[in-house]
Amino acid sequence: MTDNKSLPGSRGPLIYRQSIWTRLTHWAWAICLFFLLLTGLQIFNAHPALYIGQQSGFDFDNAVLEIGAVNTDAGPRGQTTVLGRTFDTTGVLGVSGAAARPTFTAFPGALTIPGYRDLGTGRVVHFFFGWVFVATMFVWFTASLINGHIRRDVLPRPADVAGVPKDIADHARLRLKHGRSYGPLQKLAYFGVFFVLFPLIVLTGLTMSPGVNAAAPWMLDLFGGRQTARTIHFVVMVLLVAFFIIHIVMVVAAGPFNELRSMITGWYRASPGTPSVHGDKP
C-alpha cells in the first residue's frame, strides 16, 4: 500500500467507484426526468393553477399558484400569482413569444413536449416515462441493497451529520475531496432524493389517477386530496430541478472529466493521499 501524499506531484489512485447498476440507472433517470419534466409542463398548461385541499372551484379561493394572461391598457400581459402575491411575468410565463404573435400558455412551447398544445400526447409520453422511472427505481433499490451501495454511500451516519458544517465550509471554498465514498452533503442530498423526493413524486402522481383512487382511496386521505397531491407533485418537481442544477454545478467544480468518467466507466480518480487498495489503478 502506498500513501500518495508522500510523493510530490503524484495523483491519487484510480478507484472503481460506480457499479454498472448505478451507472445504468443514473442515465435512465436522466432521460426519464427530462421527458417527465417537459411533458409535465404540457399537462400543467391545460390548467395552470395549483390548489390546497380536496377540490377547486369558483365559490372559494384555495389557489397557491396561478399563471395566466390579463388584458391591460398596454396589451396582454403574463401574470403569475404565488400565495396571493402577483408578479408580471410577460415573456416568460403566461404570455411569451413575439409581440406580434404572442403565445398564451403558462409555460412557453420551448419548455414543453410537444412544443404546441397537445394534452393527449403529453399525457401518453408522461405516463410512459413515469412507469420506466418506477421500474428504474426498483432496479436501483434492489441492486443497491445487494451490493451495499445504499448502506455504504447513501444512508447518512452520525459521523456524516456531524461533518456537515465542515463539508459546507469546504464546498464554499471549493476545497472538494475525491474519496472512496460520498461526503456528508452528498449523502444527505442523495438520501433526500432517493428516499424522499422520488417516492413522493411517484405516490402523488398515482394519487391523481382515478383508477388508483378507486383501488386505494386511502391515498387521497394521505395527501389531503387530489388537488393537494397535484401541488406536492409540482413542488417536488421544482426541487428535483433545483437538485439537478446544483448537481451540474458541482460536477463542473469537481472536475467534469473525472465525474463523467466515473458515471460512464465506473473508474474515478481519487485525491492524492487516498490509500491504495488491491484492484486500484495508478
Model confidence at 122: pLDDT above 90: yes
Residue 7, pLDDT score: 46
Residue 56, pLDDT score: 59
- The residue among 53 and 248 whose pLDDT is bigger is 248
Model confidence at 253: pLDDT above 60: yes
Model confidence at 232: pLDDT above 80: yes
17 falls in which pLDDT band (50, 70, 90)?
confident
Nearest to 178, CA basis, from 6, 11, 59: 11
pLDDT in tens, 19-67: 999 999 999 999 999 999 999 999 999 999 999 876 655 556 788 999 9
pTM, rounded to two decimals: 0.88
3 falls in which pLDDT band (50, 70, 90)?
very low
CA dist., res. 113 & res. 36, Å (int): 9
Model confidence at 220: pLDDT above 80: yes
Arithmetic mean of pLDDT over the chain: 89
Residue 12, pLDDT score: 81
Helices (H), the chain: 20-46, 119-147, 149, 158-162, 164-172, 184-192, 198-207, 210-215, 218-222, 226-254, 256-264
Model confidence at 182: pLDDT above 50: yes
For 117, residues 6+ apart whose C-beta sits below 8 A from its C-beta are 42, 45, 105
For 137, residues 6+ apart whose C-beta sits below 8 A from its C-beta are 198, 202
Region 234-249: mean pLDDT is 96
Residue 254, pLDDT score: 85
CA dist., res. 270 & res. 22, Å (int): 18
- For residues 197 and 240, the answer to whether their CB atoms sit within 8 Å is yes
Residue 60, pLDDT score: 62
Residues in the chain: 282
Nearest to 205, CA basis, from 185, 184, 232: 232
Residue 55, pLDDT score: 62
Locus of grid cell 415573456 = 91
Region 74-92: mean pLDDT is 92
Q: Is the Cα torsion angle 105, 108, 111, 115 positive or negative in sign?
A: positive
Residue 13, pLDDT score: 85
- The residue among 176 and 150 whose pLDDT is bigger is 150
Q: Return the biggest CA–CA distance within the chain.
A: 76
Residue 101, pLDDT score: 86
pLDDT in tens, 94-103: 999 887 888 8
Nearest to 204, CA basis, from 243, 175, 240, 234: 234
